[in-house]
Amino acid sequence: MALIRWEPVRELGTIQNEMNRLFNSVFDTPTVTNGAALRRWVPAMDLIETEGEYVLRADLPGLTESDVNIEFDQNVLTISGERKSEHEERTAGFYRVERSSGSFRRTLTLPEGVDAEAIRATFENGVLEITVPKPEAHAPRKVQITVGNGAAEQPQAIEGAESPDSADAPAAA
């Protein structure tokens, strides 16, 4: 397992994003129409870590692969899309809408070193699966220490400075 440098500012940003998402899901309910509140749609997602990759699965019922956009920029994986509402005109009978619709956007910060070209995505039966290979762990490089031949080198004179030999010599007039 690779050691990841702890960056408190990044952690605060993550906490802020999670709190924003929490408050948006609770307080950002759209206006009431036809006696029922429209709910904001946020698809359920699972993130699984295996030995060599991260696997993200998102339930996107009613969507096709053309309705979903996946972007990877500066170690941030973003999944966005929109589920359109199906409006029906009914003049008689009881009508109730419980399924949510609308646009969504989910982001996930990945470790540094992820190869963007190696990310794969499949979409089958309303489930989006994104596979992200883990970055290779960087092993520390061992630096070889060489032992000199024991001869002390003469210090190099800096241009414009007095050399140690010229301090004893009389100044030329």
Domain ranges of the chain: 8-88+95-133
**Which residues, other chains included, contact 14 with Cβ-Cβ below 8 Å and sequence gap of 6+?**
109
| Per-residue pLDDT band at 164 (split at 50, 70, 90) | low
Please write the tens of the pLDDT for every residue from 103-136: 889 999 988 888 889 999 999 999 999 999 998 8
d(CA 57, CA 130): 7
Helix, strand, coil fractions of the chain, as percent rounded to 5: 15, 30, 55
Q: Domain 8-88+95-133 falls in which CATH fold? A: Immunoglobulin-like (2.60.40)
Q: Note the pLDDT tens digit of each residue in 49-68.
A: 998 999 999 999 888 888 89
Q: Dig out the tokens for 130 from the structure.
A: 């994104």
What residue type is 111 in one-letter code?
Answer: P
| Helix or strand run (H / E) with residue 13 | helix 8-27
CB 40 within 8 A of CB 101: no
Burial of 80 (0-12, 13-18, 19+ CB in 10 A): middle
Is residue 171's pLDDT more than 70?
no
Confidence of residue 151 (pLDDT cuts 50, 70, 90): low
